[in-house]
Amino acid sequence: GAVVSQHPSRVICKSGTSVKIECRSLDFQATTMFWYRQFPKKSLMLMATSNEGSKATYEQGVEKDKFLINHASLTLSTLTVTSAHPEDSSFYICSASRPASGGFLTYEQYFGPGTRLTVT
Amino acid sequence: GESVGLHLPTLSVQEGDNSIINCAYSNSASDYFIWYKQESGKGPQFIIDIRSNMDKRQGQRVTVLLNKTVKHLSLQIAATQPGDSAVYFCAETETGANNLFFGTGTRLTVIP
């Protein structure tokens, strides 16, 4: 269990257009979903935290008008990169969390496979 | 061999050797740590975790060591196999928190 999917896995778009990336928890309801960005040979950087039905919380330096997050249900969050530019090209990864069933943590996070965005 | 650094370091080991991957964390309040494995073009996969009241935890072929005094943890992989080739990240959080912060990562290459 605890599978997270992302769609699309790869997308190429032209500069100035907007791109939507979906993150779905397939077999559980996610309390919270997270969006990360990863540049080549770099670590994952948390962009924003989103809870179903409320506004996302963005990390410092992340433009909320540029990266629109909608968390419509407990199994779906979307990230829209608006007016994309080549510098937005990156690997975007989402994760979904749910209350832990045991062990150390209160919540457990499960990661999606990522979406490779290339802006030309 | 072992690897330390703030940039994405690389570590090459011979198949069958043991690997040691290091991570320095920054938040003194962090009390829970996870090691993830990320293969090319994929999301991170959970490997092993440890809580701050422990110094060591063992899994199958993997061991995590935690030194809270110097805010350092390491991942040891025994009898490294070609399938272990990937980038390894440590992540930290606080109990009750819902977010993770990732370390720099280390690229492990296993030479057959």
Q: Which two tokens stand for residue B3?
A: 């690897």
Distance CA B9, CA B87 (A): 10
Put simply, the answer to whether B49 touches A104 (Cβ < 8 Å) is yes
Q: Confidence band (pLDDT; 50, 70, 90) for A105? A: low
- In this predicted structure, what is the pLDDT of residue B98? 72
Q: Which two tokens stand for residue A31?
A: 């309390």
Which range is least confidently modeled, A72-76, A90-94, A113-117? A72-76
Tell me: pLDDT of A61 over 80: yes
The mean pLDDT value of chain A amounts to 91
Tens digit of each residue's pLDDT (9 = 90 or more) over B45-85: 999 999 999 999 999 999 999 999 999 999 999 999 999 99
Q: Which residue has the higher pLDDT, A54 or A89?
A: A89
**Residues B85, B77: contact at Cβ < 8 Å?**
no
CB-based contact (8 Å) between A26 and chain B?
no
Q: What is the DSSP string of A40-92?
A: TTS-EEEEEEEETTSPPEEPTT--TTTEEEEEEETTEEEEEE-S--GGG-EEE
A 42-101: CB under 8 A from B: 42-46, 49, 91, 93, 95, 97
Distance CA B53, CA B65 (A): 12
The residue among B33, B105, B6 whose CA lies nearest residue A44 is B105
Q: Which two tokens stand for residue A11?
A: 């997308």
Put simply, the answer to whether A49 touches B44 (Cβ < 8 Å) is no
Show residues of chain A in contact with B43, CB under 8 Å. 4, 6, 93, 95, 111-114
Q: Which two tokens stand for residue A59?
A: 């990390």
Q: How far is B79 from chain A (nearest CA, A)?
A: 25
Q: Confidence band (pLDDT; 50, 70, 90) for B2? A: very low
CB-based contact (8 Å) between A105 and chain B?
yes
Using CA coordinates, name the residue in chain A closest to B9.
Answer: A41
Q: How far is B41 from chain A (nearest CA, A)?
A: 7
**Residues B49, A104: contact at Cβ < 8 Å?**
yes
Query: Which residues, at least 6 apart from A94, have a Cβ–Cβ distance to it below 8 Å?
Result: A4, A6, A21, A23, A33, A34, A35, A36, A77, A79, A111, A112
Side-chain half-sphere CA neighbours of A58 within 13 A: 13
**Looking at residues B14-41, what average pLDDT do you find?**
93
Distance CA A4, CA B43 (A): 10
Look at strands A4-7 and A19-25 and give their pairing.
antiparallel
Answer positive or negative: Cα dihedral of B4, A46, A66, A40: positive
